[in-house]
Amino acid sequence: MSTSQKVDILLLGAGGREHAILAKLAESPRAGKLYVAPGNGGMYGLATKVELDAEDPVAVAGWAREHAIGLVVIGPEAPLVAGVADAVRSAGIPCFGPNGEAAQMEGSKKFAKQVMARAGVPTAAYRSFTDEDECAAYVRQVGGPIVVKADGLAAGKGVIVAQTTEEALEGVHECFGGTFGDAGATVVVEEMMEGPECSLLALTDGKTLVSLATSQDHKRALDGDRGPNTGGMGVYSPVPMVTDEELATMVDIEKRVVAELAAEGITYSGCLYGGFMLTKDGPKVLEFNARFGDPETQVVLPRMKADLVDVFLACDDGTLDAGDVRWDDDWAVSVVLTSAGYPGSYEKGKVITGIEDAEAMDGVTVYHAGTRLDDEGRVLTNGGRVLDVTAVAPTFEKARELAYAACQKIDFDGKTYRSDIGLRCIQGR
């Protein structure tokens, strides 16, 4: 598959995930000119910023054709669900990321649950509702603890893990009341599962599936897994508590889902993200996402030995091979620096200092998430999750120590982070 021909690449997205993808693409000898829409303050040294609505399929495909782009890489879920990959492929341009129909694995929890049922994949028992009274009656009948989810995309916030029936009923009311917009018009009620969580990202061309290294996100805002759910506060890879048997089960589950979709006429190509709970009855699926995880990507890609341009093109043209991806033996830990107040309201525009000092440390990379550059080239905060301070080292302890030492070097008004990222890895299950 490997040729020496260079390809110009357009990457869509603006988070730490996209910065990590861009850095890995830039390492490839096959990377030609790199473009990003819209990108963030850390990405413009590697790629040219493009003014483009990344969620508009016609605009993306048109721009890519005009600029002779040889690969479009879609980072976030919204353009996938909007059908950007379909439009790019229809224009004859290779694309990394599933078409809109396949992206329903993330875009609709109901769709994903139905595919899982047909594929015989273990997941929480569920019912879905479009009527608030029926939904509330069911919740009263089953009782807490129980989980209530808005069906559509809600940026990780449309999930209420309710310990009591009252909490669950409030969640039902919140979903139907419009808190999550259209995403709440259908509500899924799920059995509550218990156990540690593990993310398993996999690359697939719709036939072959190559799983990437395991990782564990920390979704809650505060130390000790307290506080509200966020987009992710920190992550490490690999996850030593996962047994070989559990890993084999998770890979098998992902293969079955891709095969089930293929049997139904849907080619799933791109990254399939399985969110698993390691229950006492084995791994069960919490959710699927149709893209790389954020912040999981920031610890998975640095450890991956592969030419990402080749691999992404192989996912698109159906020539993915298990031998394309290998791993180094190091450990990676990433701590997310957030703006005070996140995931609630927070201020933007604070000057960030010390990123170069942090990156001068051996093994440390700082991926930008919510940042932008001002006219003088200073880096300013521009979002809730600001930076992913990532360290790679030969032992877990060393990687964790390095990541936290690097966090100390960086400063901005309102800098906030969890101090216990990866502690569970040391403490075990």
Q: Which residues bind ligand GLY (CB under 6 A)?
A: 156, 217, 232, 289, 293-294, 296
CB of 157 to ligand AMP, least distance (A): 9
CA gyration radius, the chain = 21
Which of 106/205 has CB closer to ligand AMP?
106
Helix or strand run (H / E) with residue 396: helix 396-409
Amino acid identity of residue 188, one-letter, is: V
Contacted by 161, from ligand AMP, ligand GLY, none: CB < 5 to 8 Å by type: ligand AMP
Which of 143/318 has CB closer to ligand AMP?
143
Contacted by 86, from ligand GLY, ligand AMP, none: CB < 5 to 8 Å by type: none
DSSP result, 78-118: HHHHTTHHHHHHHTT--EES--TTTTHHHH-HHHHHHHHHH
Residues in Cβ contact with 198 at an 8 Å cutoff, skipping those fewer than 6 apart: 214, 215, 216, 239, 242, 246, 250, 276, 277, 278, 283
Residues that bind ligand AMP (CB under 6 A): 124, 147, 149, 156, 159, 161, 190-193, 197, 219, 229, 275, 286-287
Which of 159/333 has CB closer to ligand AMP?
159
Gap between the Cα atoms of 372 and 341, Å rounded: 19
Q: Is 57 left (phi over 0), alpha (psi -120 to 50) or beta?
A: alpha
CB count, 10 Å around CB of 7? 20
Contacted by 294, from ligand AMP, ligand GLY, none: CB < 5 to 8 Å by type: ligand GLY
Contacted by 257, from ligand GLY, ligand AMP, none: CB < 5 to 8 Å by type: none
Contacted by 232, from ligand GLY, ligand AMP, none: CB < 5 to 8 Å by type: ligand GLY
**Where would I find the beta strands (DSSP E) of 125-242?**
126-129, 146-150, 159-162, 187-191, 197-204, 209-217, 220-222, 226-229, 234-237
CB of 367 to ligand GLY, least distance (A): 14
CB of 382 to ligand AMP, least distance (A): 24
Q: What number of CA atoms fall less than 13 Å from residue 202's CA on the CB side?
A: 29
Amino acid identity of residue 101, one-letter, is: E
Contacted by 147, from ligand GLY, ligand AMP, none: CB < 5 to 8 Å by type: ligand AMP
Which of 161/241 has CB closer to ligand AMP?
161
Which of 62/156 has CB closer to ligand AMP?
156
Gap between the Cα atoms of 267 and 258, Å rounded: 8
CB of 180 to ligand AMP, least distance (A): 12
Contacted by 192, from ligand AMP, ligand GLY, none: CB < 5 to 8 Å by type: ligand AMP
CB count, 10 Å around CB of 165? 17
Residue whose Cβ sits closest to ligand GLY: 293
Amino acid identity of residue 125, one-letter, is: A
CB of 132 to ligand GLY, least distance (A): 27
CB of 293 to ligand GLY, least distance (A): 4
Which residues, listed in sequence order, are joined to residue 129 by a DSSP beta bridge?
Answer: 187
Gap between the Cα atoms of 154 and 293, Å rounded: 15
Asked whether the beta carbons of 285 and 275 are under 8 A apart, the reply is yes
Contacted by 159, from ligand GLY, ligand AMP, none: CB < 5 to 8 Å by type: ligand AMP
CB of 207 to ligand AMP, least distance (A): 27
Residues in Cβ contact with 140 at an 8 Å cutoff, skipping those fewer than 6 apart: 165, 169
Which of 34/150 has CB closer to ligand AMP?
150
Sequence length of the chain is 429
CB of 109 to ligand AMP, least distance (A): 7
Which of 28/237 has CB closer to ligand GLY?
237
CB of 198 to ligand AMP, least distance (A): 10
Contacted by 101, from ligand GLY, ligand AMP, none: CB < 5 to 8 Å by type: none
